Structure 1
């Protein structure tokens, strides 16, 4: 590993490094069904990447009766928690993190998952030896597409926005990075298309961590920024 940190890479985790996007979709679908507020899975999928507060506004409308919101969030958390021990990293996700670290880049997981869930994601990745900083939902006042979690990741890792790249899988990731003028590399492994990610402003788009790793030397991650 290089002696000096030349920059860093902020990584979203859900749908970017760990294969969870559709698990969240199914869990929200069932939670909504249980409260008699059914929403098609395709619609839910497009909202994954937002925090639960904004996701429910997006799916059910900001003027809805919010009395069921806590029950919805609890149901989603319980349903999704059943998958924790079976979470699977996306292809070569840990290898990508290690390759970035070997290039002298500080590796940061910029996730807004709750603390217990962060532990499950880290166990699935099995790359703690090269991860410098990990955020959680407690670090952000507002969820994506607000940039709060990225600001927290920068502050905790000691990195400057001018020296980092963000890697994410949703248009909400791209939007959050754009508010801080951070280039966002998109991955389609969360189920969002190449066209949607590029249209939202992603500076480059790859299929998954393995594809980004294969092209790493020529990617926006090559030297941080």
Structure 2
């Protein structure tokens, strides 16, 4: 097993992916851009600015920033209160801590969203470090947010595993030198997560410990993330 366990939050610990995607879809509609929910799902977990560069390449920097700001407002006002914690999260965190593991969060979210998620989860006593959107400029798959979590935990990459619900989480972990594990609660298939390098895949966090015990180390395939995502939705 590992000394450190770094968890993504949205889609991994809390059930928020549909709400995030709908809020982005609505923000795009307000800007006169129609994109299907299914198309947005392909890029779930990817840094928001990068997502817009892929799905609407003609947008300039100012309009992308405007759309992302609009998404944040829509999400907070319309969807945030509907988010629920996945079952069994506290039990998993308690078990890993009891076994001597150091636990951290590495999430692109911040501010009211992160505060609300933590209030739902009730895991503050087990978290040794948090790296969030306030700590880095770029979201996953950029590995720096995972690197911040490692530094705060006082661990090296090979001592830890990054756990998330998207290929982006796995790529961010590998970029920081960690292993990777995945859960299916973000809408990606087992094949997509394993293709990104996840050595263990569980249906949800409550089943993660068993999956980690039976893990086989993997490295990610060389295919670009956008291509893997298109063939790997759950």
TM-score (norm 1): 0.89
User: Which secondary structure state, in structure 1, belongs to the residue aligned with residue 162 of structure 2?
Assistant: strand
TM superposition shift of 1:148:
1.0
> By how many angstroms is 1:167 displaced?
0.5
How many residue pairs match? The answer is 214
CA distance in 2, matches of 1:126, 1:214: 22
In 2, Cα distance between equivalents of 1:94 and 1:143: 25
Runs (4 or more) in structure 1 with deviation over 4 Å come to 214-220
Alpha-carbon distance in structure 1 between the residues aligned to 2:109 and 2:53: 18
User: Residue 147 of structure 1 aligns with which residue?
Assistant: 143
Aligned residues of 1:141 and 1:148 also touching (Cα < 8 A): no
The match for 1:206 is 202
Structure 1 stretch 157-166 or stretch 102-111: which is displaced more? 157-166
Match for residue 128 of structure 2? 132
CA distance in 1, matches of 2:62, 2:104: 36
Kindly report the root-mean-square deviation, in angstroms, between the aligned alpha carbons of the 2 structures. Answer: 1.7
State the partner residue of 2:63.
Answer: 68
Structure 2 Cα separation of the partners of residues 156 and 78 of structure 1:
30
Helix, strand or coil at the partner of 2:35: coil
Match of 1:3 in 2: none
Within the alignment, does 1:40 sit opposite 2:36 as a pair? yes
Pair 1:29-2:22 in alignment: no
Among 155, 158, 168, which residue is 2:154 paired with? 158
Decide which of 170, 175, 181 is 2:171's aligned counterpart: 175
Structure 2 unaligned spans of 5+: 217-234
Aligned-pair CA distance for 1:43: 1.3
SS of equivalent residue, structure 1 residue 104:
coil
2: CA distance, partners of 1:151 / 1:58: 26
